Structure 1
Amino acid sequence: MATPVTNTADTPPSSGGVCASQINTLPASALIGEDGQPRFGHFDSPVTDLMLSQFDYRTVMDKPASQLARYFHFKQFQFVSLSHADWQIGIAIADIRYVANGFCYFYNRNTAQLDEISQLKPFSLGVNMSPSPIAGSAFLGGKQQIRLTPQGLNWQVALTGSLLQGELMLTPEPASMPLALCTPTGYNGWTYTQKHNALHVAGQLQYRNTELDLTSALAGYDFSAGYMRRETSWRWGSISALLPQGRFGLNLACGVNETGSNENCLWLNGVKHRLPAVSIRLNRQHPTLPWHYCSEDGAIDLHFTPQQCRRERLNLGFLASNFRQYCGHFSGSLSLTNGEKLQLDQIPGLAEDHFARW
């Protein structure tokens, strides 16, 4: 069990009326407690082990869930983004038990072209996921092999294939901590999410056999797992970029982790600032129109302009996914609790709109 690490850089949300349980963070350790229940709230550092075998999973009628239900109801995905002034890269492995999905894409900001490889693996055959957010390795084979390996606060990325090839190490600023949060999901589930943006990138990477300059690239990752709603949807926004104030990362979401806490935060030169709840508004019938990310207290007021989209639609009746991840840029303002106000002017980032029945 890991020694608790207190992250004094973690600041609470700026909105009024925040209860103490939302402000305080929990010491890091195993996710599931001795009573078989998950520990809910923000953690001061990543949990060491999901402890799935210890979870007392019940049906909605409070009966012990079957082994099949325990297996098929658990979902997990890992995502890495690489951001550069000239390009954007997205890398993902998602395991929903009935099927696993992996994709890699390269978006050229100068030509507005998106190049991708996507793979489906029935019953997740040949796919492994990390059992811990700080150790293990997630792997998806095929025409574009992906390996994502958490190593404490660092992440190693290995890619082999015709689209992307190379090995990378993603590292945070000294003393910087990721967002680590677990919230109740539906009647009997939970979702653990861990995210960290504005990470340093070291190593080498080729796109279609052309070496990429990683000098000014920044990265972010998302590790999410749990017993999620059978039918769910979320909207999301993410940035890893250089501002005049320094290295800047942003994570905004609505739709999943919002029971008692939220996953909204930013990093500025490694210091994590928690943010209030947001509304994310878009027009699905006119997806090229700007999205609006805003909070009730006005601390967040951002507009996202889509430029290109990585989409995937799958409808098998009992399983369905309508996934859209957009490359584009953000403009607007963010206010911090210390009174500092950040102005964003066409800062590259990602936005996502996803419906899932799984």
Structure 2
Amino acid sequence: MLSAPPENNLLGTDGLPRFGYFASPVTRLNLAQFTYYNVMDRPASALAKYLHYKQFQFVSISHADWQIGVAIADIRYAASAFCYFYQRSTQQLDEISLLKPFSLGVQMSNTPVAGSARINGKQHICLTPKGYNWQLTLQGELLSGNLMLHGGENAQPIALCTPTGYNGWTYTQKHNALALSGELHYRGTALDLSTALAGYDFSAGYMRRETSWRWGSISATLPQGRFGLNLANGVNETGATENCLWLDGRLQLLPPVSIGLNRQQPTQPWQFSSTDQQVCLQFTPQQCRRERLNLGILASNFRQYCGFFSGSILLQNGEKLILDQVPGLAEDHFARW
């Protein structure tokens, strides 16, 4: 049986979060103990402390022929979820989305290593962290099945907490290029998971009232082994970044990157690059899962693209890793919450 991660609290005895990278996942967020102040340095109300907390969980499954994305997000005023299946050969994207006002009937995991996040509707979604593994259960016309994402005994997820805005924080934990077991059906047809790889994202905290990010992600098999990549702009950028790669499960941190795109011409390639040229990648979008919601107080402009990465990344051992049309995801998101 896989051993559980060691006890690791996010908050210190002073009620404030510990910032930086964590060698092992946080096992307790301890939100009740968080000492939350407003921008005038006065204790925030219990209602503000509740409403300002945001959390989302995401699982991606990548295969040479198709891509799956599954997410649950709780922003307190509402909870939303989506589930999609993308066929690369036809560039067709089939999706289901859910929206629950005031997050009624929605449950989220308390930590990235235990508990369950679930939402019900025309597509039932349940994400259950189990230590270094994650379980995904789906039930609906679009996707159904029960999967396990295997982190392994020596799992090395990226786990970090950074200051956000004036008085907030964000904890992010991600792990890509994970092996899969279980079974999964797309509209009643069994999918071959033997060569598929998966990744997860657990992000939570007191984020900016207006938040935006750009992001790139890969879970794929290269000649060098199982390869995972995570690159981001916009959330974790104060003293540390979540930029990293995995090669056969071994984690390597990467430098800050700029992510350039043309929102008015969405089919144009994106550019992912670091100033030292350690990362030099181009992402070519093929299809997009999008959602726009503008309620004044709340707003979301979300675009997640399926496509291909090409370019190079310099590894710690000096080897240059060449990517040639490697399937991956890129995301551009604005949120007012």
Indicate if the aligned counterparts of 2:133 and 2:152 stay in contact, CA closer than 8 A: no
Shift, 1:337, TM fit: 2.2
Equivalent residue in structure 2 for 1:137, among 116, 129, 132: 116
What's the counterpart of residue 81 of structure 1?
60
Residues 1-358 of structure 1: pairs in structure 2 closer than 5 A: 29-358=8-337
| Offset from partner CA, 1:110-160 (integer Å, 9 cap, x none) | 110000000100000010000011000000001100000000000000000
Indicate if the aligned counterparts of 1:290 and 1:305 stay in contact, CA closer than 8 A: yes
| Offset from partner CA, 1:243-273 (integer Å, 9 cap, x none) | 0000000000011100000000000001000
Distance 2:273 2:213 in 1: 15
Distance 1:327 1:333 in 2: 19
Q: 5+ unaligned residues in a row in structure 1: which ranges?
A: 6-27
Distance 2:86 2:4 in 1: 41
Indicate if the aligned counterparts of 1:185 and 1:256 stay in contact, CA closer than 8 A: yes
| Offset from partner CA, 1:304-327 (integer Å, 9 cap, x none) | 000000000000000000000000
Indicate if the aligned counterparts of 1:173 and 1:200 stay in contact, CA closer than 8 A: no
Report the 3-state secondary structure (helix = DSSP H, G, I; strand = E; otherwise coil) of the residue aligned with 1:350. strand
Shift, 1:29, TM fit: 1.0
Identity of aligned residues (%): 72
Shift, 1:206, TM fit: 0.2
Distance 2:59 2:228 in 1: 13
Indicate if the aligned counterparts of 1:185 and 1:259 stay in contact, CA closer than 8 A: yes
Distance 1:206 1:176 in 2: 28
Report the 3-state secondary structure (helix = DSSP H, G, I; strand = E; otherwise coil) of the residue aligned with 1:69. helix
Report the 3-state secondary structure (helix = DSSP H, G, I; strand = E; otherwise coil) of the residue aligned with 2:192. coil
Shift, 1:340, TM fit: 1.4
Q: 5+ unaligned residues in a row in structure 2: which ranges?
A: none
Indicate if the aligned counterparts of 1:174 and 1:270 stay in contact, CA closer than 8 A: no
Distance 2:175 2:316 in 1: 20
Distance 2:12 2:33 in 1: 8
Indicate if the aligned counterparts of 2:29 and 2:110 stay in contact, CA closer than 8 A: yes
Distance 1:233 1:48 in 2: 27
Report the 3-state secondary structure (helix = DSSP H, G, I; strand = E; otherwise coil) of the residue aligned with 2:98. strand
Say what the alpha-carbon RMSD is for the aligned residues: 1.1
Shift, 1:99, TM fit: 0.5
Distance 1:39 1:282 in 2: 33
Shift, 1:100, TM fit: 0.4
Distance 1:55 1:172 in 2: 29
Count residues with an aligned counterpart: 335
Distance 1:46 1:4 in 2: 7
The one-letter amino acid of 1:62's match is D
